[in-house]
Amino acid sequence: MKKSENGMTLIELLTTLAVIAILSAIAVNSYSAYGLRANRSEGRSAIMRIQAAEEKYFLQNNTYTTDFTDAPPVGLGQGSATTANGYYTITVTANAGGTIATSYLVTATAANGQTKDTAACQTFSIDDQGNKLPLDSTGCWR
């Protein structure tokens, strides 16, 4: 009589480990990309909040301001130049060809770990006319 053997061969075990390693690598990359996409909301919400504060400031003072950190009436009172988790650095400047009295451009630039995001989505900006960059066709604003 032949004795039945139970268990796995070394080749079966190595094949199983290789499949698990490949699936894990795919999952980690997908998760990293998802995290970067999720962090974009921090930069977008920061510049939208500053845009609303700029419009309120303009209604009260008939001018825009680059001072978004100091409390009103001097500035916008919107906190520091970095977002809450430090993924973006915020700047406010006069829009190209204008002065801060009549126009502004709010920009969020990727910082720290967010610099691993796609090149098109590393900088968000919005101006006094509501023009957004990058364009919606890039998918960065979703």
Average pLDDT for the chain: 90
Based on the number of CB atoms within 10 Å of its own CB, is 99 exposed (0-12), middle (13-18) or buried (19 or more)?
exposed
Domain spans of the chain, in order of start: 10-138
Cα angle 118, 121, 122 (rounded to 5 degrees) comes to 90
| H-only helix segments in the chain | 10-61
pTM: 0.78
User: Does domain 10-138 sit in CATH 3.30.700?
Assistant: yes
CA distance 67 to 71: 9
Residue 41 is which amino acid?
S
The proportion of the chain whose per-residue pLDDT surpasses 90, expressed as a percent, equals 63
Q: What is the pLDDT of residue 93?
A: 94
Alpha carbon 54 to chain centroid, angstroms: 21
* Segment 50-101, tens digit of pLDDT: 999 999 999 999 999 999 889 988 899 988 899 999 999 999 999 988 899 9
Using pLDDT thresholds of 50, 70 and 90, give the confidence band for residue 32: confident
Checking if the pLDDT of 2 tops 80, the result is no
CA distance 142 to 126: 15
